[in-house]
Structure 1
Amino acid sequence: MTQASKHTLSAEVREREYSPSSCIGGNYAPYIEEYATLSKAALNSASRHVELAYGSAAAHTLDLFLPEHGDSEPLPPLLLFIHGGYWQELSKASSLFAAPDCTQAGIAFAAIDYTLAPQASVHDMVLECRKALRWLHQHGEELGFDPQRIIVAGSSAGAHLAAMCCLRGWKDDADLPAGTPAAAVLVSGIYDLQPLIGTSINEALSLDESSALTVSPQGFDLTGFPPSIISWGEIETSEFKRQSQAFAELLDAMSVQYGTSIEMPARNHFNVILDLARPNTSLGDATRALFASLPVTFTRSK
């Protein structure tokens, strides 16, 4: 692990810069309500949906949506979504909005829950998300999707957790199966957690410099990191933009192949993720193109 970069912004500036609602007048409740409304509609309209447990803890559950496909067709790929909420809020129940866009495009979709702070540390959450990804890979064929074509996606804190799922050789957990995940879509993420120390966000997280470094993908050797889309909204704080740009630049500098960096015009930290798989949007089209680039190598066992 290499040490993530340190920053000299004052605590007051960091408080503002790491409050994404500061760009939209402070009230993000309407966006959370939109997540919930769209997710409820996705659940009500689903023809192939199941809720499953990937572990024994109360939060170790996921919702899986499958597209229609014939027995002679290859199993569909899977988009695994990890919700944001600063590791303290939200759930899979309000994270299902991309399911209809995915299934209509022949892509399976899953959203997971994980234990939130302060009941769990960020380190614990990383382990839970990696556990969910490992479980989905193990059970993909029987569940009805291709375990070799899983793309992990996340928004904000979820993008951080998704990035941690992509690390190879992380000393705190065994590597995920080879080629898992096959790619990633990281939206408005935080990849260096050190600037959060001393802000109100950290009250529930209790990060110190050592623990922040342990879960900051910006500070790791990214060899083996899968092809990725790094995206953020035009209407975001300078620090949120810098975090995404710096992570994309690090991937590029280390010769890690990734799809593209996309700043979404007229989108903010909260609504940019709604375009995750939406057709005729820059992010949605890029996500679909990333799926199209994955070779079909998995053969269903007899």
Structure 2
Amino acid sequence: LLYKQTPQGPLHLNVFYPEGHSSDQKKPAIVFFFGGGWVGGSPSQFYPQCAYLASRGMVAISAAYRTRNEHGTPPSACVEDGKSAIRWIRSHASELGVDPNRIVAGGGSAGGHVAAATATV
């Protein structure tokens, strides 16, 4: 799902739903941000965790964000994109079947920093 269009290109969310999920349900959600030192990485890093948590009843999301090697951007752009992802998920919660008050974020390395920064959204 496209969540943001940047000057460097589009950014997407990869959403994993529990079996039988529908948008009228209000499931808790987790959003993962990949690690890579703000330089590189891929949302696929957290696909196994997303699949597992979806099998346990959560909507699990792995978010793309801009990095230095791919987009030529500084770490501040990573944080900006992470916040944009959370805002987009909250504003589209009814379409996604997500409870907007039960969204958590996590990540590895730089993605952990991005996840922590989303707490201010």
Whether 2:4 is the aligned partner of 1:55: answer yes
CA distances 1:58-113 after superposition (whole Å, capped 9, x unpaired): 24111001113576x84211110000011112111333111221111100100011
Q: 5 Å matches for 1:191-206?
A: none
How far does the alpha carbon of each residue in 1:103-160 deviate from its partner, in whole angstroms, 9 at most, with x for none? 1110010001111015111111111110011000100111222221101011111101
Identity of counterpart residues, as a percentage? 28
Query: Is 2:84 aligned against 1:109?
Result: no
Letter in 2 for 1:129: G
Is this contact kept in 2: 1:83–1:92, CA < 8 A? yes
| Contact 1:82/1:162, CA 8 A, preserved across alignment | yes
Q: Which residue is 2:18 aligned to?
A: 67
Q: How do residues 67-86 of structure 1 correspond to structure 2 at under 5 angstroms?
A: 67-69=18-20, 74-86=25-37
* Alpha-carbon contact 1:59-1:115 (below 8 Å) kept: no
TM-score, scaled to structure 1: 0.36
Alignment: residue pair count: 116
Residue 130 in 1 paired to residue 77 in 2? no
Q: Would you identify which runs of 4 or more consecutive aligned residues in structure 1 move more than 3 Å?
A: none
Letter of the 1:53 partner, please give it: L
Taking the aligned partners of 1:94 and 1:157, their CA distance within structure 2 comes to 13
> Contact 1:66–1:103 (CA<8 Å) still a contact in 2?
yes
CA contact (8 A) 2:32 2:106 kept: yes
Match of 1:163 among 103, 116, 120: 116
Q: Which amino acid aligns with 1:55?
A: K
**Contact between 1:66 and 1:108, CA under 8 Å: does it hold in 2?**
yes
Q: Within 5 A, what are the aligned runs for 1:79-228?
A: 79-118=30-69, 119-167=72-120, 176=121
Partner letter of residue 26 of structure 2? L
Answer with 1 or 2: which has the greater Rg: 1
Q: Give the 3-state SS of the residue equivalent to 1:114 in structure 2.
A: coil
Once residues 153 and 98 of structure 1 are traced to their aligned partners in structure 2, the CA distance between those partners, rounded to angstroms, is 11
Q: Tell me, which stretches of 5 or more residues in structure 2 are unaligned?
A: none
Indicate the SS of the match to 1:150.
strand
RMSD: 1.8
Question: Structure 1 or 2: larger strand share?
Answer: 2
Report the AA paired with residue 137 of structure 1: R
Residue 5 of structure 2 aligns with an amino acid whose one-letter code is: S
Residue by residue over 1:156-190, the C-alpha shift from the partner in whole angstroms, topping out at 9 and shown as x without a partner, is 111011111113xxxxxxxx2xxxxxxxxxxxxxx
> Which runs of 5 or more residues in structure 1 are unaligned?
1-51, 168-175, 177-302
The Cα offsets for residues 172-213 of structure 1, whole Å up to 9 and x where unpaired, read as xxxx2xxxxxxxxxxxxxxxxxxxxxxxxxxxxxxxxxxxxx
With normalisation by structure 2, the TM-score equals: 0.86
Distance 1:107 1:70 in 2: 10
Within 2, Cα distance between the matches of 1:140 and 1:128? 18
